Structure 1
Amino acid sequence: MQPFQDQELGSAITAASSPSWDARAAAGRRLAAEPQIEGVADVLHRLLLDAYDTAVTSDTAIALLARGDLPGLRAVLAARAQAADGGTADQLSAELDGDPRWMTGEGVDQLIQQLQTLTSDADPQVRDEARRRLSLLR
């Protein structure tokens, strides 16, 4: 990673704790774009479950789902499974249900394949959420 990228990443991690909802939302979008999100998974999880503004939840979830990969979907499912606040849980469900990529046959096939993979995840909450999402698709 380049020094500028390290600085940008550090700034995004710092912004994730900002009192400003728009700074936290921007941090979620930036961190979701990291090639290897495992290193920032805890920060992303906190942003997905933002206790103060569902816009932060929404922006972070949309950015993670836009990746189109298993780690992005897994992060959103893990947050949805742990969301205690009804508004946050509803927002995460809305982002999962409304992803435009899944409005095509090819996109639904990709989603089903990724969800089937996640039904074997090490985290039982992710497994259960993946199974629940699959049952909604059938």
Structure 2
Amino acid sequence: MTLSDPNDALSSALRDARSASWSVRAEAGRRLAGAAEDAEVAAVLHRLLLDGQDTAVTQETAEALLERGDVLGVRMVLAALARADDDTGDHLDAALTNVCCQSDEGLARLKELCSALVSDADASIGEEAGRILSGWACP
């Protein structure tokens, strides 16, 4: 499967990520989250996480990445959180709450993943992971 194939669902999601419609961009973020390992997709997801036009795009994309339940998804959200303005950061935190605070198991999983990220090569990701481990609490 190639990303440049116009009939491919991934290509469609990559196109939709450039839409003028916030709801189309948000849905694209959800669809692309499952392919976050791909460098081209990861770059688009990073842009959607920091969407300057609508924080719903940010939150939907972040929730989809967190629902993966893996280091990569959490790492991408933490990378965006480290670079976000206050408003966008609030929506990234809301995504963490919505996905990871629904159960004790969800919170334990987040902390386990953050433990793996505190020594990340990107110091800002490590700092965000440390913030979560040292005092971030579900509301």
1:111: how far off? 1.6
Partner of 1:133: 132
User: Aligned partners of 1:32, 1:5: CA distance in 2, in Å?
Assistant: 19
Partner of 2:94: 94
Residue deviations 1:49-86, cap 9 Å, x none? 000001101110111111111101111111011002x2
Whether the 8 Å CA contact 2:36–2:45 is kept in 1: the answer is no
**CA 1:35 to 1:90, structure 2 compared with 1: closer, same or farther past 3 Å?**
closer
Partner of 1:113: 112
User: Aligned partners of 2:87, 2:36: CA distance in 1, in Å?
Assistant: 29
**CA 1:69 to 1:5, structure 2 compared with 1: closer, same or farther past 3 Å?**
farther
User: Aligned partners of 1:124, 1:75: CA distance in 2, in Å?
Assistant: 13
Alignment of 1:7-46 (within 5 A): 7-34=8-35, 36-46=37-47
Structure having the larger proportion of residues in helix: 1
User: Aligned partners of 1:27, 1:105: CA distance in 2, in Å?
Assistant: 30
User: Aligned partners of 2:87, 2:136: CA distance in 1, in Å?
Assistant: 22
5+ unaligned residues in a row in structure 2: which ranges?
none
Normalising by structure 2, report the TM-score. 0.87
Whether the 8 Å CA contact 1:31–1:37 is kept in 2: the answer is no
Identity across aligned pairs (percent)?
48
The alignment partner of 1:121 has SS state of: coil
Q: When the two structures are aligned, how many residues end up with a matched partner? A: 136
1:2: how far off? 7.6
Q: Residue 123 in 1 paired to residue 122 in 2?
A: yes
Moved over 2 A (4+): 1-6, 35-39, 101-109
